[in-house]
Amino acid sequence: MNDPVSRTILLLDIERYSDRDDVEQAYLRRMLYDVTDRALESAGIDETLRLRADRGDSVMELIDANSSVPALLRALLTSVPAQLRAVNRMASSSAQIRLRGVVASGYVAIDEHGWVGSDLNHACRLLDAGLLRAALRERRDDFAMCVSEGVYTGIVRHDHTGVPAADFHEVTVDSKNGPLQAWLYGPVPEGAAGPRNHSETGAGGAPVPGASGDGPAPGRTSPSTPSTGGVVFNLNGAPSFGGSLVLGDQHGVSGGQVTGDVHLGGTGGDAA
């Protein structure tokens, strides 16, 4: 395994993706990549400064640590909501795209087999937190985002232009390895007041059935979803995130390559 390197971690996930048919999913994936590329471009983050992994209903970007995090946050708080509004004005009810996002930082080892790192695991668990899902459900806006404790302490709390510290609220979510601290942008979901906000999970971090899922897409019945847990990186096959599959090798635009299975939130072996 290569030595870990410092990266800014950006995760974006499509709400209710698995409830759509194949045509709608293909459309939503195109919109996700377009929104992500435009946001990073507006933040001044060139393609050579990031490495992408495709998760089907989600995208993961490892961004060079020298890129501006305040500029990234400004783009996520302004460019992403504006793009989603524009896209959804022209889309049918079954093709509406709403996103959850996480910005974190930490050390990630990158080699020919994939990406490894507890900071990466941490970010993925924040993305899957019931509280972040609930925040998106309760908002008229199409985007809900939280940042890790490290990003808040190093960047957000200093109240940079376009990154209003007062609009971030301290929350705590449960995970299989215990409570995780984060900072949610915008209102905290109803019934989760105060800094000790926990996603609704059962023993071992598994979600309680019906407690805090995304719910069905408009006009559709939500299929049963497997319990989500930690982050699992396997080596030979198709990557999946929350049950969605993407076949083939995954290539980063800066020349990196992820080959094989990457299971995020599955029930396979746990590398975290």
Within a domain: residue 77? Answer: yes
b/e sequence 26-39, b meaning 16+ C-beta within 10 Å: ebbbebbeebbbeb
Within a domain: residue 196? Answer: yes
Within a domain: residue 229? Answer: no
pLDDT attached to residue 110: 83
For residues 131 and 171, is the Cβ–Cβ distance under 8 A?
yes
Residue with tokens 């996603």: 199
Cβ neighbours around 66 below 10 Å, total: 8
Within a domain: residue 40? Answer: yes
For residues 112 and 257, is the Cβ–Cβ distance under 8 A?
yes
Within a domain: residue 268? Answer: no
Beta strands in the chain (DSSP E): 5-14, 50-54, 58-64, 99-111, 114-116, 143-148, 168-173, 180-185, 231-232, 240-241, 244-245, 250-251, 257-258, 263-264
Output the pTM of the full model. 0.71
What CATH number is given to the structural domain containing 123?
Answer: 3.30.70.1230
Within a domain: residue 203? Answer: yes
Residue with tokens 């990549």: 33
For residues 257 and 249, is the Cβ–Cβ distance under 8 A?
yes
Domain encompassing residue 156: 5-216
In total, how many domains does the chain have? 1
Q: How far is CA 217 from CA 224, 230, 265, 269, in A?
A: 13, 25, 21, 30
For residues 76 and 38, is the Cβ–Cβ distance under 8 A?
no
d(C-alpha 267, C-alpha 263), whole Å = 9
Within a domain: residue 260? Answer: no
Within a domain: residue 253? Answer: no
pLDDT attached to residue 85: 95
What is the residue-level pLDDT of the chain in tens, covering all 272 positions? 678 999 999 999 999 998 889 999 999 999 999 999 999 999 999 999 999 988 778 999 999 999 999 999 999 999 999 999 999 998 888 899 999 999 999 999 988 777 888 999 999 999 999 999 999 999 988 999 999 999 999 999 999 999 999 999 999 988 777 889 999 999 999 866 445 444 443 333 333 333 434 544 444 333 333 333 444 434 344 444 444 444 444 444 444 444 454 444 444 444 44
pLDDT attached to residue 233: 39
Closest CA to 211 of 196, 231, 225: 225
